[in-house]
Structure 1
Amino acid sequence: MAHDTVHPAPAPATPARVLLPQILPALVVGVAASLLFVGVSALAGKLQNVLWQDLPDALGIGRYSVLWMIIMLTCTGVLVGLIVWKVPGHAGPDPATLGLGGAPPLAPAVLPGLLLATGLMLAGGPSLGPENPIIASNIALAYWLGRRFVPRLPGGLWIALAEAATIGALFGTPVAAALLLSEALAGQQAKGPLWDSVFAPLVAAGAGAITTTLVAHPTLDLGLPPLARPGWTDVLAAMVVAAAAAALGMVAVYAFPYVHGAFLRLRHPMVALPAGGLVLGLLAALGGHLTLFKGLDEVGDLAKDPDGWSAGQFLTMAVVKLAALLVAASCGFRGGRIFPSVFIGAAFGLFAHALVSAVPPALGVAAGVLGMLLAITRQGWVSLFTAAVLVASPAIIALLCIASLPAWLLVTGRPQMQLHEDGTPVR
């Protein structure tokens, strides 16, 4: 006897009267999150100019000489080590145990040390970006102030608003935040239409993105020659480059717990961070000054002249930057891994272009960034989005979707570049 299939009734949609009161808090969080990000970035940029231009010029030392790079990165390790050691809150938990989001909100007392350590890191040259500390700081502030002044809204909403707002501010568009939220919600039990769940966070992300755009005028487009109508060789090239970049990224992922463990055995931040800074200075001497800092400005320099370096030079920069990211993330510097991964992937993609001239620069860069981000972040939608907007070519999107498949097979189910408290990798 045949049985009728019984489908569960869909969860009811959220009434507008519930969503409307969330708009104003979302707008406030979006603007505030963007201003914190822009403010920290601007102050770090001014300090960077002092440390890497004014000071070496006054001392008569080359701005990016080997000696100056080693001195500056070691001194940055000393200063951040002092903050981690002495400032209340110790600049937050071990960054190796943190991902892009999802951690419990930090106590407000931790934030001054965390933001100070982040600003010094951004100015001093280690290969990390601002995303993780800024997201954590905005979540802590939104959660603490929101629960204090608007207690009727659930604490989880404040966390979602702050995370979405910061992602929107970082990328200058709410699309990245919407994709990240959709990916996070995909693994959760549905409580209604997806758009109801992302409505208020999307408002916050839009406010954060617009504020950043109006104040700082950011752009991710590298200005590379657009890709013409793709052919079969372009499909093959995108798949090979993305998979090879993912494989290269997984080398750092597998090495992460061992490198982190080596620095952990130094037992004190005033030993581990200066030692990490010294190693980063030596790596910069090997890879050149373009392998310093978070990497977004430097990847723009690469894109201005995609034929200006040899295949060996591009590969050297990609490998050195990956090693610098691994060391900086292991020794205790506070920062994120998305923006340095963009530089690594772009350099690897330009290596592919220099090695095989039939690979267009835009295709090489987009596929390289896609593969590297999939390995380092394990965020599929954000990886696709970031790779696509770097080259601003509609023809690239279909290629990237195809190229993501073999790259994802290489990374899924394997260790991530994040550790549990006991030092074992998250899977």
Structure 2
Amino acid sequence: MSDTGASEPSEARGATQDAAPTAGPSVRQLLVMSVPAIAIGVGSAVTLWVLNSVAGLLETYLWQTLPAVFGADESTPWWIFTMLTLIGAAVGLVVWLVPGHGGPDSATTELSGPFPGLKALPSIALVVVLGLAGGVSLGPENPIIAINAALSMALLAKAAKVPQQLIAALAIAGTIGALFGTPVAAALVFTGMVGAMKSGGSLWDRLFLPLAAAGAGAATMDLLGGEAIAFHLEPMGALQPIYLLTGLVIAAAAALLGIVGAWVFPYVHRAFHALRNPLIITTLGGAVLGLLGVLGGPITLFKGLEQTGELLKNPDDYTPGQLAAFAGIKMVAMLIAASAGFRGGRIFPVVFVGAALGLFGSAVIPDLPISLGVACAIMGVTLAATRDGWISIFIGVALVGDVAVIAPLCLIVLPVWLMVTKAPELLIKPRPAGVSVRNPDRPHA
């Protein structure tokens, strides 16, 4: 009888060896690397807190102190229009004339990059503070991650001899942890990212350092008194079969709105950028945002987290028509802001849209629990915007503060994923070249 092992072709033996799992990092390596991971997480949270604090002070001045001088307040229509138009002009001047030009267009980049050089960071910080304080419907996530990643890579790449790809990943994790106030969000995001990385060890070996950075970022932000994303609605109670159907209707409708927004996005972006001059682009964008702000009122302004809290604390104060209008106006405002050269992320405005749609659904569908309606709508529109099921489920659950909605969400997300997986992305392509966490060998935003 012949020896099958001896007769095995060399190519097959090579393939078998290549398929064998590589060893993961040692305990010592994880312990040593946890020091820069925690440092990056703390630094990321501090940067976010500083920029949020500066933006908060400027917001108070622009929307409370200054309008009072002219006999107006934050809800006065002419003040809303004037302020957003002036903020658009200010952002346009920075993008046009200040070195760094406000960094890359946020409409063309994902959280994983590309990341700018150090010279661009002051201009990025300036435009993100102006946008947050001025009422622009974008969140801080893209610019803040860009700042933290660039700073971390510049400070630690040589001193700690840590690969830039890992440093950027830790900065992303630390910032996400600080933004959402919990490392769980970062861990869920990175389960998808590390699955595509060619590295050995178990999943938790690969999540260890990002989780350390995210935990440090979340804890630091909590100690500094950062914003929380958790609210508390009336619990769902015992799951009823009909909830799966009504929840799916809400989630699908929210996802459909997100898909429509993603389909329109490139056309709106192209129309604004056909004007070429950044000052004209953002000033016009600010004026359109001002008109939308007059139409929707102050609750449709800003990044949307505080305004989401206002909706969820007093849902009975709004009619179904108002809630539907809030959702539509916020979606349009986000698309205009992202298309007109303002710098910022799209997650927080999308969450506001989902909250408004969820309250609308629970108001018009009999016996749909409010917590399930809101969670399903947030999950649906966030799924369309991010293409990340884990983070969409997490945000839906975290916002309503009811763990009972996890089971129906895990079922409802499946058909909704089939809706969005081949739909247009909420991202402008082609994307600029730069460092990408997911694949450093080729450009990916």
**TM-score, length of structure 1 as denominator length:** 0.95
Contact 1:306 1:361 in 2 (8 A): no
Q: Which deviates more from structure 2 when the two are superposed, residues 5-14 or residues 312-321?
A: 5-14
Residue deviations 1:28-47, cap 9 Å, x none? 11111000001101110111
Equivalence for 1:106 = 116
Equivalence for 1:258 = 267
Question: Which residue, 86, 90, 103 being the options, matches 1:75?
Answer: 86
Q: Which deviates more from structure 2 when the two are superposed, residues 61-70 or residues 287-296?
A: 61-70
Per the TM alignment, residue 409 of structure 1 is displaced from its structure 2 partner at its CA by: 0.9
1:393 counterpart = 2:402: yes
The runs of at least 4 consecutive aligned structure 1 residues that moved more than 4 Å come to 3-7
1:131 counterpart = 2:117: no
The one-letter code of the counterpart of 1:59 is F
Equivalence for 2:348 = 339
1:287 counterpart = 2:287: no
Question: Which residue, 31, 50, 55 being the options, matches 1:44?
Answer: 55
Name the SS for the 2:224 alignment partner. helix
Contact 1:239 1:402 in 2 (8 A): no
Contact 1:75 1:274 in 2 (8 A): yes
Cα pair distance change 1:217/1:144, threshold 3 Å: closer
Per the TM alignment, residue 99 of structure 1 is displaced from its structure 2 partner at its CA by: 1.1
Per the TM alignment, residue 404 of structure 1 is displaced from its structure 2 partner at its CA by: 0.8
Distance (whole Å) between structure 2 residues aligned to residue 224 and residue 240 of structure 1: 20
Name the SS for the 1:63 alignment partner. coil
1:148 counterpart = 2:158: yes
Equivalence for 1:183 = 192
Per the TM alignment, residue 148 of structure 1 is displaced from its structure 2 partner at its CA by: 3.3
Residue deviations 1:275-299, cap 9 Å, x none? 0001011111111210000001001
Equivalence for 1:313 = 322
Cα pair distance change 1:205/1:231, threshold 3 Å: same
Cα pair distance change 1:422/1:216, threshold 3 Å: closer
Residue deviations 1:341-386, cap 9 Å, x none? 1100000011111112411211111111000101111122111111
Q: Which deviates more from structure 2 when the two are superposed, residues 180-189 or residues 326-335?
A: 180-189
Question: Unaligned stretches of 5+ in structure 1?
Answer: none
Contact 1:234 1:359 in 2 (8 A): yes
The count of aligned residue pairs is 421
Contact 1:246 1:374 in 2 (8 A): yes
Per the TM alignment, residue 90 of structure 1 is displaced from its structure 2 partner at its CA by: 0.3
Structure with bigger gyration radius: 2
Aligned ranges 1:7-406 → 2 under 5 Å: 8-101=19-112, 103-150=113-160, 152-406=161-415
Contact 1:11 1:193 in 2 (8 A): no
Distance (whole Å) between structure 1 residues aligned to residue 143 and residue 117 of structure 2: 13
Residue deviations 1:118-176, cap 9 Å, x none? 000000001000011001100000001112322x2211111111110000000111111
Residue deviations 1:303-324, cap 9 Å, x none? 1111221111100000000000
Distance (whole Å) between structure 2 residues aligned to residue 167 and residue 195 of structure 1: 18
Equivalence for 2:438 = none
Per the TM alignment, residue 17 of structure 1 is displaced from its structure 2 partner at its CA by: 1.9
Distance (whole Å) between structure 1 residues aligned to residue 111 and residue 281 of structure 2: 23
Distance (whole Å) between structure 1 residues aligned to residue 131 and residue 374 of structure 2: 26
The one-letter code of the counterpart of 2:87 is T
Residue deviations 1:224-268, cap 9 Å, x none? 111111101111111111111000111110000000000011111
Distance (whole Å) between structure 1 residues aligned to residue 354 and residue 118 of structure 2: 35
Name the SS for the 1:216 alignment partner. coil
Contact 1:57 1:63 in 2 (8 A): no
The one-letter code of the counterpart of 1:45 is G
Name the SS for the 1:149 alignment partner. coil
Contact 1:346 1:368 in 2 (8 A): yes
Distance (whole Å) between structure 2 residues aligned to residue 308 and residue 86 of structure 1: 45
Distance (whole Å) between structure 1 residues aligned to residue 39 and residue 60 of structure 2: 32
Distance (whole Å) between structure 2 residues aligned to residue 249 and residue 414 of structure 1: 10
The one-letter code of the counterpart of 2:328 is V
Contact 1:105 1:143 in 2 (8 A): no
Distance (whole Å) between structure 2 residues aligned to residue 259 and residue 293 of structure 1: 20
Equivalence for 2:437 = none
Residue deviations 1:161-207, cap 9 Å, x none? 11100000001111111111111122333522111212111111110
Distance (whole Å) between structure 1 residues aligned to residue 30 and residue 221 of structure 2: 25
Root mean square deviation of aligned Cα: 1.8
